[in-house]
Amino acid sequence: MIVIDNLTVAYGSVQALTGVSLEIGANEFVSIIGPNGAGKTTLLKSISNVVPWQSGDIRVDGTSIRGREGWDIARLGISHVPEGRRVFGQMTVEDNLKIGAMSSRVDMAQIQGIYDLFPHLAARKHARAITLSGGEQQMLAIGRALMSRPRLLMLDEPSMGLAPLLVEQVFHHIGELFKSSSLSVLLIEQRATEALEASQRSYVLEQGRVVISGPSAKLLNDPAIQSSYLGITAKG
């Protein structure tokens, strides 16, 4: 569905991505893990065309998206939940969901579908978003992104700043969402264990380059990944 082909991105003299190639298939759950500053967020921003790329290409269904506007990328079925759970704090939960729809006609059945997926939101539908917990705000940000009926949901560090119990809850919901839909998911995470457990395939980014990729279950058992990313050291 999406092919990233030899992508290179720089911010002035800072090289953020160098020759990155990867693919996300239809109804596939792919994660990207890697340390701080590895280029994970830049990769998502490149797909959303928030940052321009110097060379290489990104193709959706075989067509380059170079130079396309954000709304046009969304129209292709790509939805981006940025880092930091950006919700409209003074608006109610339900109004946040309504503005996620790309149409002015609100489909209440669709909103009910989001509530079925995230029961915590249903219970707080008339509350202002700012009063929600961090985990609930993350679910609202994901729910709002789903309102545009995407084919690919891109999640940038959904665990960031959440207490461990809430991280578990958010990952549980993301897993359920993937299982119950025909969505593709591209997840960016520093929490490597959770990301590898949730996804089918993964790429490891280091200093803007893909250094390892493969089935997530295989990477979870790879001693090099375990010692570098999962905090597991080999027994002597």
- The answer to whether 202 and 31 are in contact (CB under 8 A) is yes
The nearer residue to ligand ATP, 174 or 188, going by C-beta atoms, is 188
State the Cα–Cα distance between residues 162 and 167, nearest whole angstrom. 6
List the one residue from 6, 14, 107, 180 that touches ligand ATP (CB under 6 A). 14
* 98 touches ligand ATP by CB under 6 A: no
The nearer residue to ligand ATP, 132 or 185, going by C-beta atoms, is 185
State the Cα–Cα distance between residues 182 and 200, nearest whole angstrom. 14
* 190 touches ligand ATP by CB under 6 A: yes
* Least separation in angstroms between CB 226 and ligand ATP: 20
Helices (H), 147-191: 164-179
Write each residue from 21 to 60 as x if it is in contact with ligand ATP (CB under 6 A), else as -, in one continuous string.
-------------x-xxxxxxx------------------
State the Cα–Cα distance between residues 37 and 99, nearest whole angstrom. 32
DSSP, res 141: H
Determine the size of the site formed for ligand ATP (CB under 6 A).
12
Only one of the segments 10-18, 114-122, 168-176, 228-236 lies at the binding site for ligand ATP (rule: CB under 6 A); that segment is 10-18
Q: What angle do CA 203, 209, 215 make, to 5 degrees?
A: 15
State the Cα–Cα distance between residues 54 and 23, nearest whole angstrom. 19
Pull the structure tokens for residue 91.
């608006």
* Least separation in angstroms between CB 191 and ligand ATP: 11
* Least separation in angstroms between CB 181 and ligand ATP: 26
Pairing state between β 209-215 and 55-60: unpaired
For the chain, the residue count is 236
The nearer residue to ligand ATP, 28 or 156, going by C-beta atoms, is 156
The nearer residue to ligand ATP, 39 or 56, going by C-beta atoms, is 39
Site residues (vs ligand ATP, CB under 6 A):
11, 14, 16, 34, 36-42, 190
